[in-house]
Amino acid sequence: MARLTVRDLSLSGKRVFIRVDFNVPIINGQITDEGRIIAALPTIRYALEQGASVILASHLGRPKGIGYQEDFSMAPVLGRLREIFGDKVKFSEDVIGENAENASAALAPGEILLLENLRFHPGEKKDDGEFAAALKKLADLYVNDAFGTCHRAHASVHALPSLFEHPAAGFLVEKEIHYFDEILKNPARPYVVVLGGAKVSDKIPVIQHLMGNVDRILIGGAMAYSFLKASGVNVGNSMVEEDRLEMAANLMEQAAELQLPMEFPQDHVAADSFDNPKEIIITAGEEIPDGYMGLDIGPETIVRYEGILAQAETVLWNGPMGVFEDERFAVGTLSVAETLAESDATSIIGGGDSAAAVRKAGLADGITHISTGGGASLAYMSGEKLPGIEILAQKGEEK
């Protein structure tokens, strides 16, 4: 059954608690990437246009301890929201309690109240019922538009919505559900999954879950070296998870039994050092000489992967092909991004570093969907039930 969305709620004259993901990077008090704020605007604007007042709540960073901490304050976010919405944006330094309740009660339709960092209160991460009950006093309706937190059973995404009769999804969460839960269950074929990043351990559950539905898996990034070593290939000084080699070998056996092609780099861009390389080489094959470490997929692999992706109808990508932060080792990642941006296939980027790489390359407009969740995307791709989504009401059912 489809989840209830903000469109299904009667918003006029109501106070709407919207759990947003404003966990944005901030350096010296300045927001360096406002993507998550921009992504939440459609839901916020819709609620305001329908005659609601809006309470916005988010965490920011990982405060140590409890109570106010300047480095993790929502103040920079408040400044950006006021640039967008003007003086209709109010601020509560308290997350719960009399001051927050009074500020919420004073809101007129069309006004916004931003709460201070939810994680300043210990009840948030503990999924505390009393904390959730105190938050509920601020609003009449609940909407979750913070997909990036849906894999965590924290109070604002789990205990709190359980207290409302019809907790609903915002447009952003609705879109994530559409692509991860609906499109990928019945994909247009060929359906190709591209996996990269540092750790094979992060992707093992993803591979296990997708094996029965995908047509081909392309592997890159440091995780490829664990698979290659498990196959008996010399990978030199490349990063390898020694305690995952047996599992990597088992995955390759399972893929073979299913006749599922798993593609690994046929050549590599390798260097004698990660931090300060003095020599960078392109290997002649899949072997990496001793004294060198793989840092990107090589040109032959790029050509092969581009050819496979060009024929795909659905592509799911999570994790870069190399150390994309260094332009010398970013070619493989950029080639995947460019191929998908030029393709007519349905392309879904599972958040994290691959999403950052696509944005860095200026190719975001060519991608069908870029997820806003890193850990949440991985959890969804692994077949896990996300607490923040499971708690939302379903259409046609009263909670």
Selecting among 14, 90, 199, 359, the annotated active-site residue is 199
Selecting among 148, 352, 373, 374, the annotated active-site residue is 352
Q: Which of 90, 1, 74 is nearest to 36 (CA)?
A: 74
**Long-range contacts (CB closer than 8 Å, 24 or more residues apart) made by 77-85:** 77/22, 77/24, 77/31, 77/37, 77/114, 78/114, 80/31, 80/34, 80/37, 81/37, 81/56, 81/112, 81/114, 84/41, 85/112
Question: Structure tokens of 142?
Answer: 């609940």
Q: Is 328 a catalytic residue?
A: no
396 with 1: CB under 8 angstroms? yes
Distance of CA 259 to the CA centre of its chain: 30
Q: Is 385 a catalytic residue?
A: no
354 with 320: CB under 8 angstroms? yes
Q: Which of 352, 381, 333, 377 is nearest to 35 (CA)?
A: 352
> Strands 26-27 and 30-31: what pairing?
antiparallel
Q: Is 395 a catalytic residue?
A: no
Selecting among 36, 152, 175, 203, the annotated active-site residue is 36
298 with 266: CB under 8 angstroms? yes
Q: Is 375 a catalytic residue?
A: yes
Catalytic residues: 36, 199, 352, 375
